[in-house]
Amino acid sequence: MKQWLLQVAALSKLSVLELYRRKDLVVVFLLAIVILLPAAFLAPFGVSGASRYISELAMLLIWLFSIIIGLGVSARLFPPEFESRTIYPLLAKPVARGTVVFGKYLGALTASVSALLVFYLAYAVLVGVRQGEWFTPILFQAVLLHVGFLIIITALTLLGSLVMTPSAALTLSALTVVGMLVFGQRLPALAAAQTGARRWVLYAIHWFAPHVEFFDLRQRLVHAWPCVEWRVCLAVLVYAVCYAGLCLVLAGWAFRRKRL
Amino acid sequence: MTQYFQHALVAVGAIVTFAYGQLLPHLFAGRMPQVLGENVVAMLLGDARQEISFALLEKADDYFHGGMRHAECDHELTGAPGKESENCSCAEDGHAHGHDHHHHDHDSDHHHDHDSASAPYGLSFDPWRWINRRVHVQEHRHAEGEDARELLPWLWAACRTSPRNIQAYESSAYVLSRMLKRPHDALKLLEEGVRLNPTSAELEFSLGELALHSLKDPTRAEQAFAAARAKCKPEPGEAGEDARFLQGRILFYLGYLAHQRGDHNQAVGYLAEAIREVPEHVGTRDLRNLLNRQHEDEGKEP
């Protein structure tokens, strides 16, 4: 077990280092500052004191950047290794293919979550300075569920990168994530409004596609609505772990069957 | 040597480009594709500005409802002005206004819980729906008092994106004057709106209402209502229904203000015009009642 943990930790570390070496985080962070800083000084009609618009803008950027980083990191886990053939020395070591998949996944997740925590820390400081509210319980819930979101999307993209080309995996994952964020809540109503095959396709999407909209607490956070019940929070996190687990099992199976 | 030559070439190119850019408006005066003085947003977005402006206005409406897009709520910030009013009255709190958000004691009525409703496709329980209804806010609330500040960035953006969006000016002025008690800022904004939309009777009317109710300036109000009357030209048929409704309100206010000034003849003149143009309008009825009451009072005097 200890040996397995050491192997997983070593593989994860590589993915984390990769993110920070590529300076993706610095770029998106600077971009966020460039967008938010002028907006923060806006005094519409000469009236100052509005703060929700800046929170909403900041949250939108956090979500956008977390999707970009999460998908980017997980889509780049295996394809470059196949292309540069560095996967062979890795597999020549006494490490199971399943362990490689899980270790790399954990690395991608750790890298994405570490970037997310930096974003949320900056957000908390911004909100704290502007509104005087530091680290509210709803912010804690928002971070927790956002981590759940990353658990799902990194697993999904990793699976995609093993069964299709990297660009196809990235595009399809991005479409799925954005599509579910926008339409996920309305899928039953949309399906009910259709007839025939379209209706059943929509119901299938509703039942089997990843409901990433569960993890979106922006509205509650920005408009200061009360926290979500903790049992619901737990249910959502269990959903994330189960969905990611299923994706990883399929990814492990695909990696074992892959002809290298 | 080559490098110096390249740098010099780039510098000369930059100077020529700048000079050409400065010369163009003079060389093709009156024939340039853009309107002189139009800003970058106007040039980049063109007619799409109006749609973006409406989207921003809807965003402000969402903020009014606590971040919720609530189709079931009657209290819309972007609603058509005055349609729902049943009385034309000049009392401070009772005057006709399309954006009357003052009495929201019914918030608890909107706290729906649809969990008992079964899934529409025959399954008794849908866990994804259950989670969604608990994670995402289902009820809504209305912004009141200082909370209305949060609406301003979106309203400001709506006005700036498209100065032709009259609804944006009306809603912004309402939030400033009524919700934030800043009537002078609202006046400035409406005057800007009138300047940018010289044919809009709605904005003149809003200006008149603001002057009358918030600034207590009947002279300024009468000027604005008179300007609104001149600009309000209803089309025949259903297309002119909104304009006719507005015309009725304008004539009511003009008659009321003339009556307040003691100019009975002019008030009767406005009533006659209202009876001719909008006989069924509630403002016509109220103006007639007002003038009849005065007539009766005068008859009772010894």
B117-129 pLDDT, tens digit per residue, is 445 555 568 899 9
pLDDT of B25 reads 79
Q: Is B152's CB within 8 Å of A45's CB?
A: yes
The residues near B134 (Cβ < 8 Å, ≥ 6 apart) are A228, A229, A232
- CA B297 – CA B299 distance, rounded (Å): 5
Chosen from A36, A42, A47, A55 to mutate, greatest number of chain B CBs within 10 A: A47
CB contact B156 to A (< 8 Å): yes
The string of DSSP letters for B140-203 reads -----GGGGGGGHHHHHHHHHH-TT-HHHHHHHHHIIIIIS--HHHHHHHHHHHHHH-TT-HHH
Predicted confidence (pLDDT) at residue B84 exceeds the cutoff of 50 = no
The four Cα atoms A101, A104, A106, A112 give a dihedral, to 10 degrees, of -130
Which residues in chain B touch residue A145, judged by CB atoms under 8 angstroms apart? 135
Q: What is the pLDDT of residue B79?
A: 46
* Pairwise CA distance, residues B290 & A21, whole Å: 79
> Which of A53, A207, A211 minimises the CB distance to B153?
A53
pLDDT category of residue B92 using cuts at 50, 70 and 90: very low
What pTM was computed for the model?
0.79
With a pLDDT cut of 90, the percent of chain A lying above it is 56
A225–chain B nearest CA distance, Å: 8
Residue range A232-240: mean pLDDT, rounded: 95
Q: Are B252 and B289 in contact (CB under 8 A)?
A: no
The answer to whether the beta carbons of residues B244 and B214 sit under 8 Å apart is no
Query: Residue B180 in contact with residue A47, Cβ under 8 Å?
Result: yes
Q: CA B262, B265, B271: angle at the middle one, nearest 5? A: 105
Q: pLDDT tens, B28-51?
A: 877 776 666 667 777 777 778 889
Q: Which residue reads 């890298």 in tokens?
A: A111
Q: Does A228 touch chain B (CB under 8 A)?
A: yes
CA A33 to chain centre: 21
CB-based contact A185 B136, cutoff 8 Å: yes
CA distance A180 to A211: 6
How confident is the model over A48-74, as a mean pLDDT? 91
Three-class SS of A100-158: HHHHHHHHHHHHHHHHHHHHHHHHHHHHHHHHCCCCCHHHHHHHHHHHHHHHHHHHHHH
- The alpha carbon of residue B226 and the mean position of all alpha carbons in its chain are separated, in whole angstroms, by 19
Instruction: State the nearest Cα–Cα gap between A52 and chain B, in angstroms.
Output: 6
Q: Does B68 touch chain A (CB under 8 A)?
A: yes
Tell me the three state secondary structure of residue B103: coil
* Tokens standing for residue A191: 């399906």
Return all residues near A120 (Cβ < 8 A) that are at least 6 apart. Answer: A62, A139, A142, A143, A146
DSSP E strands: which ranges in A58-106? none
Residues of chain B neighbouring A44 (CB-CB closer than 8 A): 152-153, 155-157
Residue A135 has pLDDT above 60, yes or no: yes
DSSP three-state, residue A204: helix
Lowest-pLDDT range of A205-214, B54-63, B90-99, B124-133: B90-99
Q: Higher-confidence residue: A133 or A117? A: A117
Place of tokens 């408006």: B25
Using CB atoms, pick whichever of B137, B153, B176 lies closest to residue A42.
B153
CA distance B146 to A48: 11
> Is B180 in the A-facing interface, judged by CB distances under 8 Å?
yes
Q: State the pLDDT at residue B76.
A: 66
Answer whether B137's CB lies under 8 Å from A225's CB. Answer: yes
End-to-end CA distance of chain A: 28
State the count of interchain CB pairs (< 8 A) between A and B. 88
Residue with tokens 């009657």: B74
Q: Provide mean pLDDT across the span B160-184.
A: 92
Determine the distance in angstroms separating the CA of B66 from the nearest CA of chain A, rounded to an integer: 6
Above pLDDT 90, what percent of chain B?
45
Q: Is A131 near chain B, with CB under 8 Å?
A: no
